[in-house]
């Protein structure tokens, strides 16, 4: 699987604490091996992120990604539920 990191994702990732970045890296490794592993809670999104999916990083942090082809995804955003979806 090819993973493309968008500029937005990179900027958001750099602002995270070292602990959350480490957990995100671990979850992306797991995602590469098994995109639908139960720990990831991989699910489709709606509204602003229609056409995207989300995986869990921690209890509150999530990664938003978009499928770009059979074996390609782009990481669109990372943040807390509130940062990503508001209210």
Domains of the chain by residue range: 2-85
Region 2-85: CATH code: 3.30.2310.20
Strands 72-80 and 2-5: parallel
pLDDT by residue, tens only, the chain of 87 residues = 899 999 999 999 999 999 999 999 999 999 999 999 999 999 999 999 999 999 999 989 999 999 998 899 999 999 999 999 886
Spatial neighbors of 12 by CB under 8 A, at least 6 apart, are 77, 78, 79
Neighbour-count burial of 23, counting CB atoms closer than 10 A to its CB (0-12 exposed, 13-18 middle, 19+ buried): middle
- Contact criterion met (CB below 8 Å) for 42 and 34: no
pTM of the model: 0.94
Rounded Cα gap, residues 59 and 80, in angstroms: 9
């Amino acid at each position: 699987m090819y993973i493309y990191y968008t500029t937005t994702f990179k900027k958001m990732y750099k602002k995270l604490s070292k602990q959350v970045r480490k957990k995100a890296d671990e979850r992306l490794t797991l995602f590469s091996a098994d995109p639908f592993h139960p720990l990831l809670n991989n699910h489709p999104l709606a509204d602003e992120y229609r056409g995207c999916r989300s995986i869990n990083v921690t209890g509150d942090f999530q990664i938003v990604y978009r499928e770009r082809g059979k074996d390609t995804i782009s990481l669109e955003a990372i943040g807390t539920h509130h940062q990503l979806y508001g209210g």
